[in-house]
Structure 1
Amino acid sequence: MQVKVLGAERRRRWNYDEKVRLVEETLQAGETVCGVAQRHGMAQSLLFTWRRQARQGRLGGEAMPAHVPVEITSTSAPASACAPPPSSWLPAQRARAGIVEIELGGCRVRVDRDVETEALQRVLELLRRR
């Protein structure tokens, strides 16, 4: 068997910081995945994969916070919604990730340091009424 090397590998290796920077760039207002991919000479599918991995906390490095839609209603939640925190949540992880933990009325709310003030106020007001 004979193997011929036809040239240097053309695949680019992206480190974690580059991936995060490019994913964040796609999330800017008025920006598209297509535009970012073209500017950086890369495949759109790779950016879509990184965005999905980031949402799932699997991009590598520390997990990126996910943005999820929240609907606030006036109906009270069942008591089981106030479950104790998982034992795997370590204080060192909380400090490193910038997480704020608020305990109110038997429920525990954890928010990222970048939480919108108005949204947090609405959530806390609903918990105070319970």
Structure 2
Amino acid sequence: MNVWIVEDDAGYRRNLRMSLEIEEGITVQRVFPSCIELFDELKSGNVPEMILMDLGLPGMSGTEAIRQLTHMVPDVSVLVLTVFKEKEKVETALEAGAAGYLLKESGGPEIIKGLWAVYESRVPA
């Protein structure tokens, strides 16, 4: 599974990448501090299978990015990973097109389990 991470906290982004890369079958190909860099990379033709997306990002919110991604790269699944617990934030992200929603307080195994669950649900049997 080819995963891209969009996360503005450099320390969390680095630790998340390291946690995911030790998992067999997961490759973190790219990491981005904001949606601007993400969309620049997508315009170059590179496309991941999965995106782990924070919601509270500088410039463009994760929710707005998810809305745009559903039109730009509809085959890419987005799993939200954020600190926001509010029900309306969860609903808004899912309505925008997110395939799932996890909190940053989740441990590495829970994040990996969430990634695999979303990934396996999009792959035809």
TM-score range (shorter-chain normalised) is: under 0.3
TM-score by length of 1: 0.23
Greater relative contact order structure (CA < 8 Å, 6+ sep): 2
* TM-score normalised by the chain length of structure 2: 0.24
Give the structure with the higher percent strand: 2
Q: Of Structure 1 and Structure 2, which has the larger fraction of its residues in helix?
A: 2
- Computing the radius of gyration from Cα coordinates, the structure with the larger value is 1
